[in-house]
Copies of this chain bind each other. A is one copy, B any other.
């Protein structure tokens, strides 16, 4: 499949796919005229890349992680990398849960009837 089809079927932009190639995250074949040609595996690969980006990983980190996910390269370095990123994500989750709890507290306070409503529409004329 060509780049446009991959783009529409994965929901990422054509520019993003070319950027992934720039970052060596997803290298397609080229047909005679120089056009990119992706195989079926590219679909899952793009999804994975998007998920990892969404988790806050950088291109460089993803580039390092992909061989671990793909070929199960199992070196001390790769294990350290995996565990390091896992821990980073766990810390980020903890942070987010903390923020959500804080927001929940504010929300429940604002929903309680005892809350001081300074700017309600009810004008007791």
* Among B55, B75, B111, B119, contact of A95 (Cβ-Cβ < 8 Å): B55
- Alpha-carbon gap, A75 to B120, bound state (A): 6
- Alpha-carbon gap, A112 to B51, bound state (A): 25
Q: Mark A81-120, 1 if CB is under 8 A from B, else 0.
A: 0110110011011011111101110110111000111111
Copies of this chain: 2
A116, B82: Cβ atoms under 8 Å?
no
12 of the cross-chain contacts (CB-CB < 8 Å) are: A51-B95, A51-B98, A51-B102, A55-B96, A68-B110, A69-B106, A72-B106, A74-B110, A74-B115, A79-B111, A82-B110, A83-B107
- Interface residues of chain A, those whose CB is within 8 Å of chain B, are 51-52, 54-55, 68-69, 71-75, 78-79, 82-83, 85-86, 89-90, 92-93, 95-100, 102-104, 106-107, 109-111, 115-120
